[in-house]
Amino acid sequence: MTLRSYLELCKLRIGVMIALTAMVGYSAVAPVVEPLHLLVLGVAMILGSASSSIFNHYYDRDIDRLMQRTRRRPLAVGGNPQAALWLAGVLLLAGMWLCLGVFNWVVALHLFLGAFFYGVVYTVWLKRRTAFNIVIGGAAGSFAILAGGAAVDPAQWLLPTLMAVVLFLWTPSHFWALAIMLKDDYSRAGVPMLPVLVGEQRCARWITVNSALLVLAAALPWMLGVLGLAYALLSTLTAVLFLRLHRSLLRDPGKTTARAVFLGSMQYLAGVFLAVVIDRHALTADVWPF
């Protein structure tokens, strides 16, 4: 396989998102942000994410051939699966080695658990068996923000844990909206995503209920006094804008409205994370060492 094929297996865009998530966890706890620590943390998270993504390509190469969106993936068209599997193992070990060398074993454990939940719990155990695959498997992303907090101080767990709950509840709304858009592909491959089994209308109701729980979870940091007024105002504004999208989804749960919720969910999560950083640092002087 070519270098481009290996990079495609790594799903670097997802890796960058995971890295940014970990950096938010770091920023939520750190009294002073160390750029070098952020860089190392980001690289480690990208390595862990790439490892689990490669394993996902490896395990799903049979059903990838059946779906329009994935049929041209490197391993679906005949790439070397054993080489990919070895690469996944090497990248995971490299990411954990970085975490152990620069931070602590708790960060390395969270990196491992994130990769394990996505690669094994979601991909192997749940994806082909239950419509709630992404609900449980979605915990994979939550470990990144826990890793970021633990990179500063594992004892300061409350805010990273609250944000991990937000990320956990964000995942179903995000991916069920995507599943409506890709319903035909998942049906063709026999993957029991929620809209395939219950239809778009009922799935839209599930998304709306889950998004309401998500917004409530995002309110907990300021309700418990962990974050302040800046977070409350910004997160509430993004929540209102996000929930408004669900009215159209409930009226017409098609690909267009599902896409709006899918994109809106990313904007909402970015808004919440930005609110955390602003509340913790932007209003405080002499935090950044440059």
Question: What mean pLDDT comes out for the span 211-223?
Answer: 95
Place of tokens 């670097």: 12
pLDDT tens profile 170-194: 999 999 999 999 999 999 988 999 9
Long-range pairs for 56-62: beta carbons < 8 A, 24 or more residues apart: 56/118, 56/119, 56/123, 57/9, 57/84, 58/84, 58/85, 58/88, 59/119, 59/123, 59/124, 60/123, 60/127
Task: Report the alpha-carbon distance of residue 77 to residue 53 in Å, rounded.
Answer: 17
pLDDT tops 70 at residue 284 = no
Q: Which residue has the higher pLDDT, 151 or 287?
A: 151
Q: Residue 136's pLDDT is what?
A: 82
Domain limits of the chain? 1-154, 157-290
Amino acid residing at 24:
V
Confidence tier at 256 by pLDDT (50, 70, 90) = very high
Rg (CA), the chain: 19
Q: What is the pTM of this model?
A: 0.90
End-to-end CA distance of the chain: 43
Q: Residue 286's pLDDT is what?
A: 46
Task: Report the alpha-carbon distance of residue 101 to residue 104 in Å, rounded.
Answer: 7
pLDDT tops 50 at residue 288 = no
Domain 1-154 is found in CATH 1.10.3720.10:
no
Q: Residue 87's pLDDT is what?
A: 95
Confidence tier at 290 by pLDDT (50, 70, 90) = very low
pLDDT tops 80 at residue 123 = yes
The secondary structure of residue 69, as a DSSP letter, is: T
pLDDT tens profile 21-62: 999 999 999 888 888 999 999 999 999 999 999 999 999 999
Please give the C-alpha separations between residue 84 and each of 3, 18, 60, 64, 87, in angstroms, as whole numbers.
12, 21, 13, 15, 5
Question: What mean pLDDT comes out for the span 232-261?
Answer: 95
Q: What's the mean per-residue pLDDT of the chain?
A: 91
The secondary structure of residue 79, as a DSSP letter, is: -
